[in-house]
Amino acid sequence: MGMSQHVASPASAASAALLDLARDIAVRAAEFALEARRAGVSVAATKSTPTDIVTAVDRDTETLIRSLILEARPDDGIVGEEDATHIGTSGLDWVVDPIDGTVNFLYDIPAWSVSIAVVEGAGGGAIGGTTIAGVVVNPVTGELFEATAGGGARLAGRDLAVNDAVPLSAALVGTGFGYAAEHRREQAAVLLGLLPRIRDIRRAGSAALDLCAVAAGRIDAYYERGLNAWDYSAGALIAREAGARLGGPRGGHENSELLVAAAPGLYEELARALREAGVDA
């Protein structure tokens, strides 16, 4: 009797091929950025505020990533943090954060990452499409998180799963803060309302790694306001494929206004607590 053999669908095979390419590019970019960090780094410019910084390594790493993407897939679009959007014609956009956690990178805190996602149907941008593959690499630890839509999330070949059945009172919750003083004041007020209702807060400094931490069960939930698509696209897919529920303002999809990620049983409790603390989750 012949043994039945699972045949991947064309869509899943395409996602796997994109993931392979994203992984290869992310690893090369991580090696490049880590070597540059070891050689020394300084602030090249500021962006929205004096504390919102960019280094030459950010720019050089994104340039490397863009060149590798276009070499392999010249018709795809690219949306990155440090350079103008490259409009493609294929219907696929690569959403790139060359160094997520630039302040950690500057201070040599080993919690920064290279984040690369592939988004389908976004219409020449990163918003409104479906993320089909994502990779987040911590160059210092060498950990590589990855996922494809419908294919699960993995770390070093191990399937990831969020912590389930955790009540809000026992939840370890990650978050982050904006750069502008007025936004930080509002975020601090929310934190004051939330902190007495949970186990504790963690602030690692990289949204991509925080979302991967949810996926790996290292924290129970994560929320943040003011993120950009390149901050969260890959990490959100990884968390979702590990079983997390993700959402945004007023019960909608996660976006730059708000992202909340938690196991399904915890999500509603956390969203309610955030609303009561002043966030319209």
The model carries a pTM of: 0.93
Strands 221-224 and 152-155: unpaired
Q: Does residue 104 register a pLDDT over 90?
A: yes
* 254 assigned to a ligand binding site: no
CATH number, domain 168-276, options 3.40.718.10, 1.50.10.10, 3.40.190.80, 3.90.79.10: 3.40.190.80
Torsion, Cα 54 58 60 65, to 10 degrees, reads: -140
Q: Does residue 23 register a pLDDT over 90?
A: yes
Residue 126 vs residue 161, higher pLDDT: 161
* 231 assigned to a ligand binding site: yes
Question: How far is Cα 246 from Cα 190, in angstroms, rounded to an integer?
Answer: 19
Q: Which fold has domain 10-159?
A: Fructose-1,6-Bisphosphatase; Chain A, domain 1 (3.30.540)
Question: How far is Cα 95 from Cα 118, in angstroms, rounded to an integer?
Answer: 6
**pLDDT grade for 1, boundaries at 50, 70 and 90:** very low
Q: Does residue 2 register a pLDDT over 50?
A: no
- pLDDT tens per residue, range 177-211: 988 888 899 999 999 999 999 999 999 999 999 99
Q: Does residue 47 register a pLDDT over 90?
A: no
Q: What pLDDT does residue 126 have?
A: 55
Q: Where in the chain is the domain with CATH 3.40.190.80?
A: 168-276
Q: Does residue 90 register a pLDDT over 90?
A: yes
* 81 assigned to a ligand binding site: yes
Q: Where in the chain is the domain with CATH 3.30.540.10?
A: 10-159
* 257 assigned to a ligand binding site: no
- pLDDT tens per residue, range 135-169: 999 999 999 999 999 999 999 999 999 999 999 99
